[in-house]
Amino acid sequence: MTNNPLQKYFRKPSIYIKLPTGGKFNPEISTSQLDEIGVLPMTAIDEITLKNPDALLNGEALISLVASCCPDIPNPRGMCNIDVEALFLAIQYATYGSELTHTHTCKSCEEQSDFNIDINVILNRFPDIEKVEPVEFDGLKIHLQPPTVEAITRLALIDLEQQRIVRSIQDTYGDEVMKEDELARRFYSSFRTIAEHNVELLANTINYIETPDGDVTDYDTISEFLENIPTKVVNEINEKIQFLSKKPEDATTFEFSCPECETKDKVVLEVNPVNFFGTGS
Ligand SMILES: [Zn+2]
């Protein structure tokens, strides 16, 4: 297709953005591109992909969207989730322009009004996480990296599956008198699955552990370490990872003032491909 006489009319980057992590955790991105990742507008096929509920749920839609619209990124699957969230907004911007429209329903008079939100405002509220301070424990330095889009999607899917299991236990046994310990056992096993995958996610987000005798990078060694340290340290790592995983809630929090009755309302908008610009719960 390289000889296509129409090639010069093919889409070109319409904006350039800097990633929240600065690409520090993805050495496969060419360093000359790090300060400005070019973002192309979506094609018709990209738009259709974004409407496929299965592809959205397993994260494939988002990954293929980045592959199509950000040719500077060689391996979208291995990108940090927070970078992909920023790229998703940038792709919306490149495709439809910088303004998003949110229809707000007043909680007091129920009047509906449209508000314009500039995507730049949201992008500027992303944290800068080029450098992550290590978690210190007993002379060790635990160096973290933000979770990848693949790891976050997997965890979300497991979470969904476990919720489904818990619901089906409730539906099946809700009316019956079930032995309490049997019910507890089933719930326990479901929550344990989530906890185990959480450890897996944590192990994946530990870049390496600095010890007085040298650095440890091996995944299995780190997993075993996580299973044998006090919960307090795991919680500390967990909290840090939460911050590195997703854009902060503040980034999409806006206050709307009703033009009819002037009631003010603070709203957290959900910005994701499933529900591009709905109201978060
Ligand atoms: Zn009102």
Task: Give residue 116 CA to ligand 1 midpoint distance, Å.
Answer: 17
Strands (E), 1-88: 15-17, 37-39
Task: Give residue 74 CA to ligand 1 midpoint distance, Å.
Answer: 48
Q: In the chain, pLDDT over 70 holds for what percent of residues?
A: 92
Q: Would you state the structure tokens that stand for residue 266, as one six-digit string?
A: 């603070």
Amino acid 165 reads I
Whole-number average pLDDT of the chain:
87
Task: Give residue 260 CA to ligand 1 midpoint distance, Å.
Answer: 5
* H/E run at residue 268: strand 264-270
Task: Give residue 63 CA to ligand 1 midpoint distance, Å.
Answer: 40
Has residue 61 got a pLDDT over 60? yes
Task: Give residue 261 CA to ligand 1 midpoint distance, Å.
Answer: 4
Residue ranges near ligand 1 (ion) with Cβ within 5 Å = 106, 108-109, 111, 258, 260-261, 263
Task: Give residue 175 CA to ligand 1 midpoint distance, Å.
Answer: 43
274/59 Cα distance (integer angstroms): 10
Q: Would you state the structure tokens that stand for residue 114, as one six-digit string?
A: 């449209």
Task: Give residue 255 CA to ligand 1 midpoint distance, Å.
Answer: 13
Task: Give residue 248 CA to ligand 1 midpoint distance, Å.
Answer: 28
Which residues, in sequence order, are bridge partners of residue 208? 143
pLDDT tens digits, residue range 7-45?
A: 889 999 999 999 999 999 999 998 877 788 999 999 999
pLDDT tens digits, residue range 190-242?
A: 777 777 777 788 888 999 999 999 999 999 999 999 989 998 998 899 889 88
Task: Give residue 111 CA to ligand 1 midpoint distance, Å.
Answer: 5
